[in-house]
Amino acid sequence: MSARKQQLLKIHRRNKRLFLIAFLLALAVVGFLIAWWLVPLLLVLAWVAHEAWFADHLFYRPGDDYHYDFPADTPSQAISLENGLVRLSGPLAPGETLVLELQLKASWLGRWLDPCVEIGNDRQEFERGVKGKRFLNLSGQREALEQGSLKLCGRHCSVSAKGTLWVMASPDYSRQRVMVIAPHADDAELAAFGLYSQSEEVSIVTLTQGEIEAEEFHRLGLNQAQAARLKGRLRSWDSLTIPLWGGVPASHCVQLGYYCLQLPPMAEEPAKAFGSRESEESDVRSVRRHNPVALPADLDGAATWQNLVADLTALLEHFRPQVLVTPHPELDPHGDHVASTRALLEAVAASNWKPTTLLMYANHLHDNDRWPMGPAGSGIALPPAIEPLPADRLWSPLVSPDVQLDKAMALAMEHDLQGAPVFKRQLRRWIQRVLAGRRWPETGSNEFFRKAVRRHELFWVRDLSE
């Protein structure tokens, strides 16, 4: 957790305590001077208001600008809005990934309903109360832009009359050999199902079993260790079988069997073995029996950083990928995700085979637990970047409606994304649906069915050949 997030969290908690004290004092006055029965009524109304409008986790201010730098040679041009149409100031440079930088300002209604920008047949939503620089994803709208027919208008927000359009060109990476690194079962599907299901040659490597937080299996009469072992087996099976739905054969899927949340301490003590926190297992070979290739850690089964890097090195040399898909180490804060990319880069340095491109994704964020905001099927605007990120190129391929449906069904097969949300979350969603106008898809109740099944997938691109 960054120092800035800690500071904002401290301020948030302080303000929450001050508000709670003031609210309780006001309730006491109301109960003493007016009518005692108003007190429980006001408590219920206050809780409903909190669930409808104040339950989002934003560790930044909606008025903060997003900060993005792109490579110095990235083509850009000024655009203007005339009668709701985007007008270019010159010919559009070659490139399939289009990002529009502009200013948004929420209306009074945009403090209670999610502001969004409608872009042709797409819509992209932002924080309630938004006021600052934001980056829209116009990928897939090139033809309408060139024809001058792309409509853009704010709903519950105003849009600046001028902006900057960035154009980024990339090869079609699905035509190259791709390796997807998934810290846990489901990460590959969440971030890159559209990419890997369209790729001509792809391998998927899952680093951990995903065995922790297995409380739901206690209902089967299992203790913590037994439940964790069952969950680890199920999610390991998911990592090997669900990619077949996207056309990836089992011979190209590998489960390494390391343990959840143990990758960061492994990185700090590379020779030390770190067994599971919950399953009481310490031998990674327990879930490797279906792997299509022998690996270095098969010899002793030790869950060490040295074995992890050696496994990844062997897989690079076996599958010989040109493109690596992995978590973004600066943007995605999950400890296992950061450590996965660190291990991968160490393996690249040690390997005789050198991939050329790194595509990075973010399934989690430091600052915002709702991004991508808005409903399933809509586009993916760039995520909050309050502190500047490295100046990477972006690649944002389109995901067709048919592939979006296949992606949703792949997520529905993931054991960790199944089941109904707890009652409190169901009640919160009902309140937000009625009072805040939010909608969730019919394909699944887990939040990732809304966040991951989108018009775009989004990757940050780094060149490994330099």
pLDDT > 70? residue 204:
yes
The better pLDDT of the pair 89, 35 is held by 89
Range in 144-158, 201-215, 348-362, 413-427 with the lowest mean pLDDT: 413-427
**Tens-place pLDDT, residues 348-375:** 999 999 999 999 999 999 889 899 999 9
Q: What CATH code would you report for 76-168? A: 2.60.120
Closest CA to 282 of 239, 237, 232: 232
Residues counted in the chain: 466
Residue 198: pLDDT above 70? yes
Calculate mean pLDDT across residues 102-112: 96
- pLDDT average, residue stretch 26-30: 75
**Mean pLDDT score across all residues of the chain:** 94
d(Cα 201, Cα 230) in Å, to the nearest integer?
A: 32
Q: Report DSSP letters for 38-84, one per residue.
A: HHHHHHHHHHHHHHHHS-S-BSS-TTSPP-----TT--EEEEEEETT
pLDDT of residue 57: 84
CA atoms within 13 A on the CB side of 174: 16
Rounded CA-CA distance 102/287 in Å is 49
Q: What contacts 86, CB < 8 A, 6 or more positions away?
A: 79, 80, 100, 145, 148, 150, 151, 152
Residue 34's pLDDT band, with cuts at 50, 70 and 90, is: confident
Residue-level pLDDT at 355: 98
pLDDT higher than threshold 70 for residue 463: yes
Q: What is the pLDDT of residue 3?
A: 60
pTM to 2 decimals? 0.93
CA of 140: how far to CAs of 150, 200, 396, 456, in Å? 11, 22, 9, 9
Q: Rounded CA gap, 377 and 437, in Å?
A: 17
Q: In degrees rounded to 5, what are phi and psi of residue 422?
A: -60, 160
Task: Answer for the pair 416, 360: CB distance below 8 angstroms, yes or no.
Answer: no
Percent pLDDT > 70 in the chain is 97
pLDDT of residue 41: 80
Mean per-residue pLDDT, 258-266? 98
Domain residue limits, the chain: 3-53, 76-168, 173-463
Q: What is the mean pLDDT of residues 422-437?
A: 93
Q: Where are the beta strands (DSSP E) in 192-312?
A: 201-208, 253-258
Whether 464 and 354 have beta carbons less than 8 Å apart is answered as: yes
- pLDDT band with cut points at 50, 70 and 90 for residue 5: low
The CATH code of the domain at 173-463 is: 3.40.50
pLDDT in the model for residue 1: 43
Tell me the Ramachandran region of residue 101: left when phi exceeds 0, alpha when psi lies from -120 to 50, beta otherwise: beta
Region 438-456: mean pLDDT is 96
Would you say 409 and 403 are in contact if contact means Cβ atoms under 8 Å apart? no
